[in-house]
Chains A and B, each alone.
Chain A
Amino acid sequence: MLTLVVLIPILGALFVGLAKAGHDRWVATVFAGIPLVFLVITWTRFDFDSDAMFQLTETATWIPTLGVGWRMGVDGISLAIATMSALIFVAAMVYPVDTKGRPSAYYAWMLFLEAVSLGLFLTTDLLVFYVFFDLSLVGMYFLIGRWGHGESQLAAMKFFVYTLAGSLVMLLGILALYTATDPLTFDMEELINQQPLAGNTVRGGVALLLIVLGLAVKTPLFPVHTWLPPAHVNAPGPVSAILAGVLLKMGTYGLIRIPFSMMRESFDRFALVIAIVGVVSILYGSLVALGQTDLKRRIAYTSVNHMGYSVLGIAAAGAFASGNDAARNLALTGATVEMVAHGLITGSLFLMAGSFWQRTQSYVMDEYGGLSASAPKLATAAVVAAFASLGLPGLVGFVAEFQIFVGVFAVFPVLAGIGLIGIVITAVLFLQMLQKIFFGEPAGRSLSFADLGKAEVAVLAVLLGLVVFLGIYPRWLLALIDHTAAVLVGAA
């Protein structure tokens, strides 16, 4: 079943790309929707009492001499993120976009990207993980370069070069880890059980540094985030939503999956450093976002900020030697919820940014004003998303950030205190954005602005509905994530 989750979008991509049957958007939506259905079924079949590290596993041999196999399986964390990703993909397919006269190629690449993204979250083989990690770059490169606007070719190139550099550095780290396994294997479960570099201070440190650096590029963390703003600004709205909602998660998910789980000893030694990088990203991301006059750039930088929360939580949870299992468990759960929350919230914000571009080809906030009069539906959605993003209680962003900070306070109290400043700045920047665009006297481009269409409303209603639902009733998501987080921090 998990294999099918990867296979069906691939087949869909081939069908949409080659068959030229028309109705590409709806065909693509169906192909994108099947994996979502399968993942929801997987969720219902998930065994909360099981002690197994990965459930519903499927394996096939691929390169036996290297210990590489097609291994699929889920734990609570990967299932939560994969399901959220599948949902974002369906939303991005349905959301209207200008495909520049080449819909079949556009939707084929989107489906391809869905397959590799879900594959990355569902595989339990480290090399297959890397394969999907790299392939996501290829898909994104073409989507930004062909269907973007402005300096999209340059942005696509920068994105590819930057993130490939990151992934290759990570590959070296992975190989340093892999060559220490005995017998040689890329099986994640084996790697977690073996902790191959435990007791090897130098090599463990170098491997950790390489892997974390590679993942930091993808996440992105300060100071290796510079590819992100141009990529976001020049990409079409739904592609930005995928980039922020799904691709960035690969960095933080990788952080939990690889160094956190497979190199506990080294991770513990560097937990404070990683936490500091996280806090710097929180502050830097929010301050730079505050300085942006471009709507999409502002949202883009809040991603640096939000991913910083997630990394801070993971780092605190990874301070294994500090004891305090309950707090670390809380931090890891919060970090994972943050990923889901950020996917839903920022995904919707970027989709809305896409609606702006579709209508006016401008992201400059000063050119709008009082938009709530002419576009009340858009205004409502934007207000919900912005409040969720700044962490208002009752919405899912709060659930995530509250747990992260409670957890981090027990481990790194000073850093948690500094990180809280980021929340304040985020609140300022979102309120200012809402005020500039939506409130006050209607002016500039707002005057003849058409409100959201049916498809747009439907998509945003589902995503933001979940944001509210999970904010009020998080138990449903927390149960799943907590099940795995407890095992990973060693509290279970």
Chain B
Amino acid sequence: MPIGHAGPEIAMIVGAIATLLFATFASQRFQSWSAAVAGLTLIVAAAEIARIIDLEQQVTFSGVWALDDTAAWSKMIIIISSGLVVLMSPDWFHTDQRHGEYYAVLLFGGAGAMAMASAADLSELVLAVLLSSITGYVMAAYHRASPVSVEAGMKYFLIGLFGNTALLLGATFMFGIAGTTRYAGFAPGSVAGAAGVIAVVSLVIGLAFKVGAAPVHEWVPDVAQGAPVPSAAFLTVVPKVAALVAFARLIPAVSDEIAWRPIVAVISVATMTIGNLGALRQEDVRRLLGWSSVSQAGYGLMAVVVVDRTDFAIPALLMFVAAYALANIAAFAVVAELRGLTALDHYQGLGTKQPLLAGVLAISLLSLVGIPPLGGFTAKLELFTAAIDGGYGWLALVAVANTVLSLAYYLRVLEKMYLQPVENDVPARLGWRVTVAAMTAVILVVALGLFAGPVLEAFESAQLLGS
């Protein structure tokens, strides 16, 4: 049990404490320097992951901690996403005189998400989910003087309470049935009967909350609209990435006695459809991005459905979370750079007034649609291939129908920005750091498509251990 196997998480927690201490003692003038401490932490954590990827893929710490490449790559995505959020935060929060602690909360949240990706044991999973959830509530409500922000935090908290309780309930039932919380200990055929159904359904709901999937998706649009934009970017990305991996790791460990595959398939369909229908008529860009993020979670779940049936599933999952995370962060960064500009009408003529920002937003939305050669296309290509190869061709067909549906609202944004005449004034910008974050994210989105070869080659060898 070498302690180094948890190196990235330890780095995150130590860094979070250091950030907290710094923020506590630093004067108001130096509060944003916490961002630098947080950035440093993320770099150390990334270096730790680079070290771990070279290790043999294994389950460690007496079987509770999966040290495989699926976890490692998803943690890398979590760290890059967190780094981009950190980059856009100082400008966003500069009016908040004591915002240094924000970075500590963010790092704790990141650590929780990373632990979620590695959890191969239900207690470990619950711990990670709770760490990620509690920090999430704080981040969503960070503008304590803003009713909208507090409302977003409150809704997130209430639905989270339900989701987390369901997870605990499921974990308890599983322990009762199997006599262990280790995924590897769930003997084939043991999870069955009424208790088994309750256990599986509760676990699915608990994780669906973190994924932002139906039927516990309602927090996503509220957080996207009301939370501070960096928090919205973080919360619609980081916990989702981790939870999708946790989902893919946990569910196949429960035997096929319970028809979990159709259950997840139905949730996937419901999620993408509800998300797209919700986004269809939105006049608020942040809310639209929130609903779009719901629908994207539905696509991601396609990989979970076929996870142990085809070799395409894990590369598809990783490619999807990478492309989704970066495109979503790029879109939110543009919103942040426009000082949280939220009404769709205010985006009219942006293509002429702010060509760079409009371009970033356009590319990230087109990537979310899945237009080649962007990262989102490679992701959908992999997802569709995985679904067809795994015998879920109908799911791919539903996803296609949903993609077409989603085009309708993504195009509404493009239409506003590019096709309609310029009328309003140039929107004010927030700061160059936010632009850097947006540009970095979008360049990575394009790179994921153009250089999909080496990326997929790296993902190819990723295993998903624990079951």
Contact = CB atoms under 8 A, between A and B. Distances in A.
* A joins B in a complex: yes
Interface of A: 61-66, 68, 127, 130-131, 134-135, 138, 141-142, 145-146, 152-153, 156-157, 160-161, 164-165, 168-169, 171-172, 175-176, 178-179, 206
A25 B464 CA distance: 55
B456 interface: yes
A146 B418 contact: yes
Contacts of A172: 384, 388, 393, 396-397, 400
Contacts of A153: 415, 419-420
B388 A138 contact: no
Interface string B363-388: 00010010111000110010011001
A169 B398 CA distance: 10
Given A62-B453, A169-B400, A131 B373 contact: yes
Interface residues of B, number: 32
B353 to A, nearest CB: 14
Among A68, A131, A161, A175, the one with the most B-chain Cβ atoms within 10 Å of its Cβ is A175
B419 A135 contact: no
A425 B453 CA distance: 52
A157 B415 contact: yes
Interface of B: 315, 366, 369, 371-373, 377-378, 381, 384-385, 388-389, 393, 396-397, 400-401, 403-404, 407-408, 411, 415, 418-420, 452-453, 456-457, 460
Given A63-B456, A65-B456, A65-B457, A161 B411 contact: yes
B364 to A, nearest CB: 14
Given A131-B373, A135-B372, A164-B404, A62 B452 contact: yes
A64 B373 CA distance: 16
Given A65-B460, A135-B371, A168 B404 contact: yes
Contact of B384 (A131, A152, A175): A175
B418 A64 contact: no
Contacts of A64: 453, 457
Given A153-B420, A176-B393, A179-B385, 4 more contacts: A66-B456, A156-B419, A165-B400, A175-B381
B452 A176 contact: no
A398 to B, nearest CB: 39
11 contacts: A61-B453, A63-B456, A64-B457, A131-B372, A138-B366, A138-B371, A146-B418, A160-B411, A168-B403, A172-B396, A178-B385
A336 B329 CA distance: 47
A168 B400 contact: yes
Contact of A179 (B373, B388, B411): B388
A130 B449 CA distance: 14
A349 to B, nearest CB: 27
B404 A145 contact: no
B419 A145 contact: yes
A164 B418 contact: no
B384 A63 contact: no
A168 B407 CA distance: 12
A138 B403 CA distance: 15
Nearest to A179: B389
Nearest to A144: B419
A134 B371 contact: yes
A171 B369 CA distance: 14
A63 B453 contact: yes
A71 to B, nearest CB: 14
Contact of B408 (A145, A146, A161, A178): A161
A130 B401 CA distance: 18
Nearest to A178: B385
Contacts of A178: 385
Given A64-B453, A131-B372, A178-B385, A161 B415 contact: no
Nearest to A166: B404
A7 to B, nearest CB: 14
A130 B372 contact: yes
Contacts of A65: 315, 453, 456-457, 460
Nearest to A135: B372
A436 to B, nearest CB: 34
B15 to A, nearest CB: 35
Nearest to A138: B371
Contacts of A169: 400
Given A64-B453, A64-B457, A66-B456, A165 B396 contact: no
A231 to B, nearest CB: 14
Contacts of B419: 142, 145-146, 152-153, 156
Nearest to B404: A165
Given A63-B452, A134-B371, A157-B411, A176 B418 contact: no
Contacts of A171: 381, 384, 400
Contacts of B377: 131, 134
A171 B396 CA distance: 10
A413 B397 CA distance: 37
B457 to A, nearest CB: 5
Nearest to A161: B407
A146 B418 CA distance: 7
B380 to A, nearest CB: 9
B34 to A, nearest CB: 39
Contacts of A168: 400, 403-404
Given A145-B419, A165-B404, A175 B371 contact: no
A176 B418 CA distance: 36
A369 to B, nearest CB: 36
Contacts of B403: 164, 168
Contacts of B404: 161, 164-165, 168
A68 B378 CA distance: 11
